[in-house]
Structure 1
Amino acid sequence: MAGRAWKFKDDIDTDAIIPGRYLVMNDPQELAAHLFEGVRPEMAGAVKEGDYVVAGENFGCGSSREHAPLALKGAGISAVLAKSFARIFFRNAINIGLPLFICPDVDRIEEGAYIEIDMAGGVIKNITRNESYKTTPLPSFLREIVNAGGLVEYTRLQVSGVRA
């Protein structure tokens, strides 16, 4: 599925993704209504299911709040592409089933470009520019967690004897 790119710079912290005053909420759709409220207030009302966040270095830095990837997933973001991620954000995103991709070529993806990702093959296709970029594919065990919808559902499937 192709989606639109929402472009961000380096060092986007979790407070920019979802401001701290909304940490009393746990519902992903409620959180999504406040996505990037302080830095891109128009985004929450305009993001569409299947869109992507594209960023520079150190995406998700700051506090270890799980609400940040929950807000992205609740808004319908398919994946986040960045040059690098804060480690705890990376793990929190995988744990809730939001795929992340490290790609050194994200600067070639402009705001509003239509892109799609081959998660297993590690290829990002920029449909707008008719270009493809390599990304580090998620290891198979992380893809299984993402495909199951997150760590809790993955664990349920494992306990029940079903493969994700």
Structure 2
Amino acid sequence: MKKIINPWDGLEGYMCFGCAPANPSGLHMEFYEDGDDIVAFWKPEAYYQGWLNTLHGGIQTTLMDELAGWVVMRKLQTSGVTSRLDAKFIKSISTLEPQLTVRGRIKDRKRNAIFIETEIYNSAEEVCSRADLVYFVSNPERAKEEFHFCGCKTVDE
């Protein structure tokens, strides 16, 4: 498993809720490449709950949405936007979990529409949430101009 370098770390004004390390309210997600999958490990906190000791569904959706964006950035070396997200909540997730694993991969591509599947696993490796996403990707020139995207590398590249 190879750690992915955040290409926006240090960019002035960069405050992504999902992945910006300097966002005090953010999720501070970090990403790894594991074969065809992109993976994130994340520890829930009490302030992310919806119901008592239960991770809010919106936070779960955000974790899967953010991971899908990183699938596109790493695997296709471009960026874009989420067009559709269909989430299924299978098993509740406790905010007392020591660590969650968020995992995703590309299922299909039709022109600039990328079909991605993601899952969240609890520390017992049970699938708790799943989402199918459609992501519209930008051409590399637009990704650089509009999203300040200039490549997504792992630490060993």
Which bin holds the TM-score, normalised by the shorter protein? 0.3 to 0.5
TM-score (ref. length: structure 2): 0.33
Q: Which has the higher contact order (CA 8 A, sep 6+)?
A: 2
